[in-house]
Amino acid sequence: MSEDRIAVLEEKVKKLEEKLERLESEVSKPLLILDHVTMQFGGLIAVNDFTNHVNRGELLGLIGPNGAGKTTVFNVITGIYYPTKGRIIFDGIDITPFKPHQITHLGIARTFQNIRLFYDLSVLENVLVAQHHEISNPDGDKILMMHGKPPKNTKKGWFWRAVSKLGYMWKEKEMVNRAKELIERVGLSHVMYEKASALPYGEQRKLEIARALATKPKLLLLDEPAAGMNPKETEDLMEFIKRVRDEFDVTILLIEHDMKVVMGICERIIVMDYGKIIAEGTPKEIQTNPKVIEAYLGKEWENV
Amino acid sequence: MGMVEKRLSTKTQVILTLIFIVVMALLLWWADKSFDSYKQRVLRLIGIYGIMAVSLNLINGITGIFSLGHAGFILIGAYTAAILTLTPQEKEMSYLFGIQEWVKNLHADFFTATLAAGFVAAGLAFLIGWPVLRLSGDYLAIASLGFAEIARIWANNALTITNGPLGLKAIPEYSTIWWIYGWLLFTVVFIASLVNSSYGRALKAIREDRIAAEAMGINVFKHQLMSFVVGAFFAGVSGSLYAHWLTTIDPRITTMGPMLTFYILIMIVLGGLGSITGSLIGAALFAILFEWLRDLEQPFTFFGIQVPGIPGMRILVISVIFILVMIFWQRGIMGREELTWNNLYRWLFARRKKEGERS
């Protein structure tokens, strides 16, 4: 009997070791890899042979003149477009063929260039909506399980639970508590029950980031978070983004036109122009890169 | 205002709701005993319109799918239930073009027939939802309207199943106040419970911004389909109740064609798109106005001027009322607010507070 038991235990240890090995190799790899990604709309090549990566825990900036293809890169990563060519690998999973709701479930959340809140819902409800996928995304869970990861939802029949309110209220309470805690952490608790449309611009931006965080992302994509903000608001936002990265343990990739923001908080910067990467490096390196200066023609450069 | 901070405890709200239901039941019981048959018919119609309005409100107001196919589901439900409740002998008598054996032999009691009506309509919604919900906005409206017309024209031509343009006659008048208001209660509880859950929030999010909803991990298509199917189920149920209220159904435009869809649309827009209690208010107002204004179609004297009876006059007047409501309450009577205990309490409390400030 005891020998059998030892054999079983040994088997378990072996499995755990394998898992550990896999996790270790995963952690050492970048969180997101874009492998020769090309996005073509008819005759227009919006993103041309984009190859780069986002390391774990990094705060990476993606900059470039208008129309360089930055937002298209975001849209390709989040599954709004299928790339014409190339692969996107996130946390060891090839996410190229997946749809936006599946990709969010796997751990990529985003904000939009023009704020897209659920304006008629309250701040609390906006955040709660972002947690809904945990109980209603079997597609995403299937992908997670296929790759040997634990699914986010293990219980069945949430629709009937929600309608009958049997075996549901504990979940609702748990979700509300979590949402309230998040709202408090980002400093929006004073407007918890206000409609999103009633918030001032800066707080709407903040709420959009909070909502994205509620999906429990590993990677957060911010599309021009400082657009339309005054210098004071921009300053606050920079602090906020840094805090988010540290406190919520998430990797951030951000698009920004405001050079003060990019140079101030990003650890590494990728510069795009006409769909191609023209430079990459630390803020210092980018500032002195002649190619970058040429792309911007000194227009935005004066701000720095 | 979306989700309001709780003022009343859940227990108080449940007790108040139960008291409300009991009071309503007593009122209905009293109406059932003392109303004349005409008023009773109107009262029953209000309940049927209520189910139709609340179910269309789930699709149009909560989820933001601009569907104009509701009459199609009602028609399918009406025919399904009527064919089931008519006995084989009755059907043999009224089907002048012959009848298919399986249609003839189908028979069930009223409750089963109503459930079947709901499920057939829901199944159909599931099937047509796949192509129709790929569209959005105006295109979806046209496609769903097209589906409803197909259903109606099918009913007009499938002689051996639906008896074609002659329709089904002598349907037993099973739709009592209790059946209708029982189903209405179930509809409202089901849909309100759905709307006040994580799923309801997801549906509202889709209405507000489908791209953002998708980016938040919501499978937009699946949720829209779910809402469409649930809405169609209750449309089918209301179709069954409607058929057993009318006692005669036929595939004319005015009974279960696009006109009915537009009537329901008027109810929910009048009451407030996105508000369940608003839909109920809209349905009641519409039914009462529509009957009350019948007098306008008789010759009458208006400030000494003789007005001859003009058929269709009431629709004209209703349109004017509707336009006025839309001018003064752009989002309908209730907007997207609900008439809940919490809101009532809040409104009363806020008013008292204001008065206190003034003095």
- The total domain count for chain B is 1
pLDDT tens by residue, B202-228:
999 999 999 999 999 999 999 999 999
- With an 8 Å Cβ cutoff, are B217 and A130 in contact? yes
HSE value, Cβ hemisphere, 13 Å, CA-based, for B289:
21
Superfamily of domain covering A29-303: P-loop containing nucleotide triphosphate hydrolases (3.40.50.300)
- With an 8 Å Cβ cutoff, are A100 and B336 in contact? no
Beta-bridge partners for A44: A41
pLDDT category at B334 given cuts 50, 70, 90 is: confident
Give the gap in angstroms from C-alpha A112 to the nearest C-alpha of chain B: 8
Q: What burial class does residue B185 get, using C-beta atoms within 10 Å of its C-beta: 0-12 exposed, 13-18 middle, 19+ buried?
A: middle
Q: Tell me what the mean pLDDT of segment B227-251 comes to.
A: 96
Residues 28-57 of A with CB under 8 A from B: none
What is the rounded CA–CA span in Å between residue B242 and residue B182?
A: 14
- With an 8 Å Cβ cutoff, are B226 and A159 in contact? yes
Could you tell me if residue B316 is inside a domain? no
Q: Tell me what the mean pLDDT of segment B24-52 comes to.
A: 94
pLDDT tens by residue, A22-39:
878 777 789 999 999 999
Residues of B in contact with A80 (CB under 8 A): 211
Could you tell me if residue B307 is inside a domain? no
Residues of B in contact with A119 (CB under 8 A): 208-209
Can you give the pLDDT at residue B359? 43
Is B237 a residue whose pLDDT tops 60? yes
Interchain CB contact of A119 with B (< 8 Å): yes
pLDDT tens by residue, B150-172:
999 999 999 999 998 999 999 99
Could you tell me if residue B10 is inside a domain? no
Could you tell me if residue B92 is inside a domain? yes
User: What three-state secondary structure class fits B4?
Assistant: coil
Give me B46's structure tokens: 């209000």
**A132 closest CB neighbour out of B194, B202, B212:** B202
Can you give the pLDDT at residue B351? 63
User: For a pLDDT cut of 70, what percent of chain B falls above it?
Assistant: 96
CA of B335: which chain A residue's CA is closest?
A: A120
Can you give the pLDDT at residue A298? 55
Give me A130's structure tokens: 């972002």
Can you give the pLDDT at residue B355? 54
**A122 closest CB neighbour out of B3, B190, B211:** B3
Give Cα B311 to chain centroid, integer Å.
26
Residues of B in contact with A108 (CB under 8 A): none
Can you give the pLDDT at residue B28? 94
Q: Which of A228, A129, A221 is CA-nearest to residue A179?
A: A129
Could you tell me if residue B169 is inside a domain? yes
pLDDT category at B6 given cuts 50, 70, 90 is: low
The label of the residue with tokens 């951030």 reads: A252
What is the rounded CA–CA span in Å between residue B193 and residue B340?
A: 13
What is the rounded CA–CA span in Å between residue B77 and residue B239?
A: 5
Residues 216-275 of A with CB under 8 A from B: none
| Cβ(A143)–Cβ(B217) below 8 Å | no
Pairing status of strand A85-90 against strand A32-41: antiparallel
What is the rounded CA–CA span in Å between residue B254 and residue B48?
A: 17
- With an 8 Å Cβ cutoff, are B217 and A195 in contact? no
- With an 8 Å Cβ cutoff, are B216 and A211 in contact? yes
What is the rounded CA–CA span in Å between residue A159 and residue A95?
A: 27
Residues 120-179 of A with CB under 8 A from B: 120-122, 124-125, 128-133, 135-137, 139-140, 158-159, 162-165, 168, 171-172, 175
Is B352 a residue whose pLDDT tops 70? no
- With an 8 Å Cβ cutoff, are B217 and A135 in contact? no
- With an 8 Å Cβ cutoff, are A136 and B198 in contact? yes
pLDDT tens by residue, B269-325:
999 999 999 999 999 999 999 888 888 888 777 777 887 777 888 888 888 988 888
What is the rounded CA–CA span in Å between residue A74 and residue A111?
A: 10
Could you tell me if residue B241 is inside a domain? yes
Q: Which of B67, B72, B48 is CA-nearest to residue B57?
A: B67
Distance in Å from the first CA to the final CA of chain A:
74
Q: What burial class does residue B146 get, using C-beta atoms within 10 Å of its C-beta: 0-12 exposed, 13-18 middle, 19+ buried?
A: middle
| Cβ(B268)–Cβ(B322) below 8 Å | no
Can you give the pLDDT at residue B3? 47
Instruction: Tell me the helix, strand and coil percentages in chain B, rounded to 5.
Output: 75, 0, 25
Mutation site, B198, B226, B234, B336, interface A, largest A CB count within 10 A = B198
Interface predicted TM-score of the whole assembly (ipTM), two decimals = 0.88
Could you tell me if residue B332 is inside a domain? no
Residues of chain A with confidence (pLDDT) below 70: 1, 297-304
Give me B231's structure tokens: 């809405």
Q: Positive or negative, the Cα torsion across B314, B317, B322, B323?
A: positive
What is the rounded CA–CA span in Å between residue B155 and residue B250?
A: 8
Could you tell me if residue B94 is inside a domain? yes
- With an 8 Å Cβ cutoff, are B1 and A119 in contact? no
Q: Which residue numbers of B have CB closer than 8 Å to A's CBs?
A: 1-5, 190, 193-194, 197-202, 204-205, 207-209, 211-220, 223, 226, 336
| Cβ(A259)–Cβ(A302) below 8 Å | no
Q: Positive or negative, the Cα torsion across A210, A215, A218, A222?
A: negative
Range scoring the smallest mean pLDDT among A41-45, B47-51, B149-153, B326-330: B326-330
Give the gap in angstroms from C-alpha B131 to the nearest C-alpha of chain A: 18
Q: What burial class does residue B304 get, using C-beta atoms within 10 Å of its C-beta: 0-12 exposed, 13-18 middle, 19+ buried?
A: exposed
Residues of B in contact with A130 (CB under 8 A): 216-217
**A118 closest CB neighbour out of B5, B199, B212:** B212
What is the rounded CA–CA span in Å between residue B323 and residue B304?
A: 27
Whole-angstrom CA distances from B65 to A50, B165, B226, B262 are 38, 31, 12, 15
Give the gap in angstroms from C-alpha B191 to the nearest C-alpha of chain A: 8
Can you give the pLDDT at residue B154? 94
Q: How many CB pairs under 8 A join A and B?
A: 127
CA of B274: which chain A residue's CA is closest?
A: A120
CA of B337: which chain A residue's CA is closest?
A: A120
pLDDT tens by residue, B95-126:
888 888 888 889 999 999 999 999 999 999 99
List chain A domain ranges: 29-303
Give me B260's structure tokens: 């009915």
pLDDT category at B196 given cuts 50, 70, 90 is: very high
Residues of A in contact with B213 (CB under 8 A): 118, 129
Residue ranges making up the domain that contains B164: 24-258
At residue A105, what is the residue type?
H
